[in-house]
Every structure is written in structure tokens, then in C-alpha cells.
Amino acid sequence: MIRFSPANIKLRKLEKKTKKKVYSFDILSGVSCPFAKECHAWVIKRNGTRKVKDGPHCRYRCYSASQEALYPKTYDFRKENSKILKLSFSEMVRTLSENIPEDAKIIRIHTSGDFNSQRYFDAWLKVARLHPHLRFYGYTKALPYWIKRKNNLPKNLKLTASRGGTHDHLIAKHRLRNVTVVLWRGQRDSVSHRILPIDKNDYMAYTGGKNFSLLIHGTQPEGSIEGKAVYKLRYNK
């Protein structure tokens, strides 16, 4: 049975900011992310253990993939949630709608995983329309699915294009609001060459305002520039 997750550490900051109950819906990282590139990583199981496998173009390892390798229960429930991807459109909509917690006010679509098909993307649009009293938001690299429905998104859904995917060229072409991962505070965005504000509590993603950035976090490949950046941020070096 699928289930929505209560707010994690970052989303609890959003709860405090908005004074609204936040939940997320999460599926397995990497394997459900067909347009991931620079963050592409997933968990493989071998000899009873789980290990993170980095994609061929991975620059900064997916934080949620590292979680799945470290915490068995996290991996298991996201794997169970991922079964929704095999359902028909109507079954997806019904299953998601019926399992939204009664006290939810804000739903983040994926703290792990992404839209892996147009059918799944469209199912979330339908769910948002069925629950106009809720606010839905999320980050995505599945830009082709978004573009196909760009002029028909429900008003209570806010999406942010996550740079570092296979279809980044669509961001400028369609003027999509977007987020960039930076390695240090004050780093200029490689596209606009401006210093973008850093979203520390998901409020910028939730409100759907201007472009912004996220500080790199999580376990990174040993010896990588990204790993060294995380170390400096963590210990103020």
C-alpha cells in the first residue's frame, strides 16, 4: 500500500514558515528519473546489501539515493510506492487521491524520484484538480512532459525545472522557472551569471516565484569537487 511521508527536516521548516501541514510522495531515486544526468544515481542490491550506483554523467550524487542505501525502511517504502508507476491512469489518480492524509495542506511531489512517464505526470495534474484546497509543488527534470501541458497546469500546482538534466535546453526556450545547485554561498549561476537566492526551506519552490539556487548537500563521490564543497560547507572550512 502506498503512503505519503510526513515532513522531513527541510519540509518542517516549510511547515513552520507557512503554518501548514506538509507531506511528500516519494518513489525510488534514479530508476524513476529518465531525464536525470548530473545528479543521476540509484541503489543496487548485491549480496543482501545496498549500494549507490552513480550514472555515467553524475557530478553531484542524488541525496535521496544515498538515503535509500543507508536506511532499509526508506528504500522499502519508496519501492512500494513505486508500484504506482505500473498502474493505469485512472488507478493512479484514485490511489493517490485516496491516500492523501486528511490533515495535509501542502504536498511536495517527490523528495525522491521524478515523473517517469506522461501518464504519471498527467495523473498528478488530475489529482491537483480534484483537490483545489491543497497546494502541490515539486522539482522536476522531466521537462518534455511539463512542456506538453504547460498551458494546462492547475493553478494549485507549482513546478520548478531542476537544472542538470538531459533537456536543460528547454528551460530557456520555454522560460521555465528553474533551480541550480551551487557549491558555495555567493556562487554565480552559470547561465544568468547572477548570484541567485538560496532556498533553505523550500518556500521559494512552494510559492513559485523567481529562479533560485540550492546548496549542494548529501554524500558525494570520494575525492570529487562536490564532495570537497560539502565538507567545507559542513565544517565551515
Sequential pLDDT tens for the chain (237 residues): 899 999 999 999 999 999 999 999 999 999 999 999 998 999 998 888 899 998 999 888 888 998 999 999 999 999 999 999 999 999 999 999 999 999 999 999 999 999 999 999 999 999 999 999 999 999 999 999 999 999 999 999 999 999 999 999 999 999 999 999 887 677 777 777 788 889 999 999 999 889 999 886 656 666 565 555 555 656 564
The structural domain count of the chain equals 1
Find the domain containing 208 and state its range: 5-235
The predicted structure's pLDDT at residue 221: 64
HEC sequence for the chain? CCCCEECCHHHHHHHHHHCCCEEEECCCCCCCCCCECCCCEEEEEECCEEEEEECCCCCCCCHHHHHHHHCHHHHHHHHHHHHHHHCCHHHHHHHHHHHCCCCCCEEEECCCCCCCCHHHHHHHHHHHHHCCCCEEEEEECCHHHHHHCHHHCCCCEEEEEECCECCCHHHHHCCCCEEEEECCCCCECCCCCCECCECCCCHHHHHCCCCEEEECCCCCCCCCHHHHHHHHHHHCC
